[in-house]
Amino acid sequence: MNPDGVHLDSLAVHAGRQPKARDPLSPPIVQTAVHVYESLDDYDLVASGEIEGHYYGRNSNETTAHLESAVAALEGAAAALATSSGMSALLVSILALCPRPAPLLVPLDVYGTTLGLLRQDLAPLGYEARIVDPADLAGLERQLDGAGLLICETITNPLCRVPDLPAIAELARRAGVPLLVDNTFATPILCRPLEHGATAVVHSATKYLGGHSDLVAGVVAGAEPFVGQARGRSIRFGTTLGPFEAWLALRGLRTLGLRVRRQSANADILARALPSLPGVTAVHRPSGEVVSRLLPDGAGGMLAFDLDGGRPAVQRLLDRLQLVHFAASLGGVETTVSHPELTSHRGLTPAEREQLGISAGTVRVSTGIEAPEDIVADFTRALAS
């Protein structure tokens, strides 16, 4: 339940828009690039931000603004910005929070493309990607000195580790370093990082917020000055979100509470079943005191497991799965598996993957909303000797 007394499940359905009499119940798609004006003064007032309105699709759109308001409400943020992908949301957030080159602190087990962005694109501009261990609070505190930004994830990809977000946020606050949290895996249904001290939150809305594997989008949420700075960059970079994708995300958002709770429960059931199946040597699922404190309503729909036999064993699994499919994404209504070595973390060196515990036999699972018995049965059949 949020501070206004409305359950988040209800907020996901209604946030961002209150239909008036004779309005369509379903949010409309305002599919336009430009708006018509007859008065120069009126256009000037809208373009300068003195009054609300829309004039050019790269700057704003009614459908996209509805999505932004809805996500801001769900995250408990003053404002939000929708972008063309999770990575573009991350980029404009980094540059808004740390506009000049400085060390960027990031865990090694952050999403692989996030690390690639820091190393391949921002490092040549003078930024330094500095690897930190969020579990080592004393070491993290030392590395915060002189840093420009700290980036972490609520639940890490793919091994589902959960950092102590309130403790990390307090260290960052004392050091005067902004904290940017990728909340894609948890969603605001399970965790609202701003309430734990984060400066800003970013999502790949492609995943759980959209929830149907049919759009690519990102969202940034935080204080109004920060979101305004991120928005300016998004407008100039051309990374704003189109109205149709925004409408798809809004449609998915309405069932977010139902989907996330079912997916989280299914992941728990599958995680309990996997250790007894042939070839499974380890199961990675959030657990422990930090998890129960930070994620009291569920640990999300993600897990990973290690198979004895490496890549051939993973291919055998894929060949035998019937209900579950291999797909290099997550968060949809259907259960999928991925192979981090080849997909999300292929940009890391073999030594870095080994350091993280990602092997050729590591399989990441995104549980969907199917009957849990069918999910377990598919893995049981596929892993049978």
Question: Catalytic annotation on 111?
Answer: yes
Q: Long-range CB contacts (< 8 A, 24+ apart) of 231-237?
A: 231/81, 231/92, 233/91, 233/92, 233/95, 233/96, 234/81, 234/83, 234/88, 234/92, 235/58, 235/59, 237/88, 237/91, 237/92
Question: Catalytic annotation on 293?
Answer: no
Q: Which tokens in the block code for residue 191?
A: 């965790």
Please tell me which residue in 111, 233, 259, 378 is annotated as part of the active site: 111
**Residue 68 to residue 51: CA distance in whole angstroms:** 18
Please tell me which residue in 161, 192, 207, 233 is annotated as part of the active site: 207
Please tell me which residue in 17, 58, 251, 316 is annotated as part of the active site: 58
DSSP H helical ranges for 195-309:
224-237, 243-253, 256-273, 289-294
Classified as helix, coil or strand, 129 is strand
**Residue 223 to residue 370: CA distance in whole angstroms:** 37
CB 219 within 8 A of CB 209: yes
**Residue 194 to residue 227: CA distance in whole angstroms:** 14
CB 284 within 8 A of CB 364: no
**Residue 220 to residue 64: CA distance in whole angstroms:** 13
- The closest of 198, 127, 123 to 163, measured between CA atoms, is 198
Please tell me which residue in 109, 164, 182, 378 is annotated as part of the active site: 182
C-alpha dihedral sign at 164, 170, 171, 176: positive
Annotated catalytic residues are 58, 111, 182, 207
